[in-house]
Amino acid sequence: MPEKLGPDSTTIVIGDPDAKVYVHLYEDPRCPYCKEYHAVLYRNQPAESTDGFTDERLLELASKVDGLRGEEFDAAIATMKYKDFVEASQKAYEMAGTSSSGRAGPGTPTVDVNGTRVPPEDSAVLYTKTVFATMLTNYSLLPREP
């Protein structure tokens, strides 16, 4: 499936941007529930209370993924090529609402379907394909918000 950045330059759009149903997923590599999504980074993530990966740790972990390390990847880490994207993403996340703990951002994982936030107590639907598909069908009946 093709992917591209959305108009806000922080949202990664996958699939048809004009689809009847769209899902906006907020996830964080330090969120314990998001670990199920991304193998290498999540298996080796730092504690949620830290600032994240050091450059050295990112390069070390990248060495565990065949074909990832190389001049281009190493240069992107050294020059912080995606720093603006990461900072803009963090700002967009913080503007997306407040978590139940009162912190900026909706909390992770959080899912919006057609502009309607799935309640945190229902976030387990993300992990069960058939339940998630049923939820998407139900939410597809809602009008799509911009």
Amino acid of residue 25: L
Of all residues in the chain, what percent are helix, strand and coil, respectively (each to 5)? 40, 15, 45
Q: Compute CA distances 86 → 69, 71, 89, 91, 103, whole Å.
A: 20, 21, 5, 9, 18
pTM, two decimal places:
0.64
What 8-state DSSP symbol labels residue 104? B
**pLDDT tens for residues 81-111?**
989 888 888 888 888 887 777 778 888 878 8
Three-state DSSP class for residue 103: coil
Flag whether pLDDT at 8 surpasses 90: no
Average pLDDT, the chain: 79
pLDDT tens across 32-69, in order?
Answer: 766 676 677 767 777 777 777 889 988 998 898 888 89
Q: Rounded to the nearest 10 degrees, what angle do helices 71-78 and 55-62 cross at?
A: 160
Cα separations (Å) of 11 from 42, 66, 98?
20, 27, 18
Q: What is the pLDDT of residue 77?
A: 93
